[in-house]
Amino acid sequence: MSSSKGQDAELRANVSVDSISSIGAITKRSGFFMIKQRTLTNVITGTGVGLHTGVKICLTLHPARANTGIIFRRVDIEPVVEIPATVENVSSTRLSTTLECNNVQVSTVEHLMSAFAGLGIDNAYVDVTAGEVPIMDGSAHPFLFLMESAGITLQNAPKKFMRVKKKIVVRESDKWAKFEPYNGFRVSFKIDFDHPVLKNSNQNVSIDFANESYKNNISRARTFGFMSDLERLQEAGLAQGASDKNAIVMNQFHILNDDQLRFQDEFVRHKILDAIGDIYLLGYPLIGSFSAYKSGHFLNNRLLATLKQDQSAWELIESDDFERVPTTIIRPLVAENYG
């Protein structure tokens, strides 16, 4: 037995299935233990401005049946158009990740998708009253708050995972993004900005979610940008809703926000937040490692598409195949949620 398999067997022996079953996260079905899918308990609504349009947007999250996935609905259009949150529906990665179906788009989905991933929500409907998800404070935390306020319901269906079976790498100039097999879920990211504020912060972070909390360590990290870029975008009719209320804004030398950074390395943590949201467009929680250098939505989504196209590089695992789900995935289920 290899050391990694031996360690996993030892950890599995220390995970009490009875203790996990007692909170309902895992149940016994046909003689096998099953990790349950999750949805929301109640409908909940929030409002905010669109990052690019600057208009007020109403966002409503609904429970959904098992095996529905995450589906966006443009309720400002008659008839309502449904847009499944899948990598196949990504139509643009300029400034954010945009989904499209039947020529109808919804953009800036990555922070909301990251929150769904962070709480392990498998199934939900997302109603929006415009062509983008509201930016809120520029992080995933307001969405996490909405979901926790709505409550989480366990569903009588096995949770499915996508396991990475071999290394997949995509490159663009000196930038790259990579999936590798890993017995859990780990995200590593390195950025390299030649700016006084960023140069004085840690620009390289690796998070193993068996040991660290998405809610505490990632969800609060805000998006960031430079005043010179913001002025250029607004002159082009974009970023009409952007401000220091929903982003960390910097000039050539300093942060312009009145409040301080939430983390010393908030910039790279936000890149991890974005990556988790993009990765969840695979449609399932990932068992594997993601790492990247100077990547963004374009390269992230190219990596997802490359993985999906190579059917030898991944496999779907249903969680009633209990012995094939790593304990590093199972153990967080003992907690109240994935956060």
Q: What is the pLDDT at residue 329?
A: 77
pLDDT per position as a tens digit, 33-52: 789 999 999 999 999 999 98
Token pair for residue 6?
Answer: 């031996």
Cβ neighbours of residue 43 closer than 8 Å, sequence gap 6 or more: 60, 61, 62, 63, 150
pLDDT per position as a tens digit, 163-207: 999 999 999 999 999 999 999 999 999 999 888 787 777 789 999
Q: What is the pLDDT at residue 1?
A: 39
CA 110 to chain centre: 6
Token pair for residue 174?
Answer: 């000196």
| Residue pair 90/97 in contact by the 8 Å Cβ criterion | yes
The b-or-e profile of 267-279 (16+ CB within 10 A means b, else e) is: bbbbbbbbbbbbb
Instruction: Count Cα neighbours of 251 within 13 Å in the Cβ-side half-sphere.
Output: 4
Query: Is the pTM value of this prediction over 0.75?
Result: yes
pLDDT in single tens digits along all 339 residues of the chain = 344 444 444 444 444 444 444 446 666 555 557 899 999 999 999 999 999 889 999 999 999 999 999 999 999 999 999 999 999 999 999 989 999 999 999 999 999 999 999 999 999 999 999 999 999 999 999 999 999 999 999 999 999 999 999 999 999 999 999 999 999 999 999 999 888 787 777 789 999 998 899 999 999 999 998 888 888 888 888 888 989 999 999 988 889 888 889 999 999 999 999 999 999 999 999 999 999 999 999 999 999 999 999 999 999 998 766 667 887 776 655 554 443
Q: Give catalytic status of residue 297 as yes or no.
A: yes
Using a 10 angstrom Cβ sphere, with 0-12 exposed, 13-18 middle and 19 or more buried, the burial of residue 52 is buried
| Residue pair 34/319 in contact by the 8 Å Cβ criterion | yes
Q: What is the pLDDT at residue 195?
A: 82
Looking up tokens 């995970």 gives 15
- State the CATH architecture for 3-334: 2-Layer Sandwich (3.30)
- 3-state secondary structure labels for all residues of 249-275: EECCCCECCCCCCCCCCHHHHHHHHHH
Q: What is the pLDDT at residue 37?
A: 95
With the C-alpha atoms ordered 225, 118, 53, 257, is the resulting torsion angle positive or negative?
A: negative
Q: What is the pLDDT at residue 2?
A: 43
Using a 10 angstrom Cβ sphere, with 0-12 exposed, 13-18 middle and 19 or more buried, the burial of residue 116 is buried
Helix, strand, or coil (residue 124): strand
Token pair for residue 96?
Answer: 């954010």
